[in-house]
A and B are shown apart, each in its own frame.
Chain A
Amino acid sequence: DSGVTQTPKHLITATGQRVTLRCSPRSGDLSVYWYQQSLDQGLQFLIQYYNGEERAKGNILERFSAQQFPDLHSELNLSSLELGDSALYFCASSVGGSLGAKNIQYFGAGTRLSVL
Chain B
Amino acid sequence: AQKITQTQPGMFVQEKEAVTLDCTYDTSDPSYGLFWYKQPSSGEMIFLIYQGSYDQQNATEGRYSLNFQKARKSANLVISASQLGDSAMYFCAVNTGTASKLTFGTGTRLQVTL
Contact = CB atoms under 8 A, between A and B. Distances in A.
Interface of A: 2, 31, 33, 35, 42-43, 45, 48, 55-56, 58, 88, 90, 92, 94, 96-110, 112
Contact of A110 (B35, B44, B97, B101): B44
A105 B47 contact: yes
Interface stretch (B13-21, B63-71, B72-80, B102-110): B102-110
Interface string B85-114: 000000101011111111110110000000
Contacts, number: 73
Contact of B97 (A92, A94, A100): A100
Interface of B: 31-33, 35, 37, 42-47, 50, 52-54, 91, 93, 95-104, 106-107
23 contacts: A2-B46, A42-B106, A43-B102, A43-B104, A45-B103, A48-B100, A56-B100, A58-B101, A88-B43, A90-B45, A92-B102, A98-B99, A101-B31, A101-B33, A101-B54, A105-B35, A105-B47, A106-B47, A107-B37, A107-B46, A109-B42, A110-B43, A112-B43
Given A88-B43, A101-B95, 9 more contacts: A35-B102, A56-B99, A94-B100, A101-B52, A102-B33, A102-B52, A103-B95, A105-B102, A107-B45
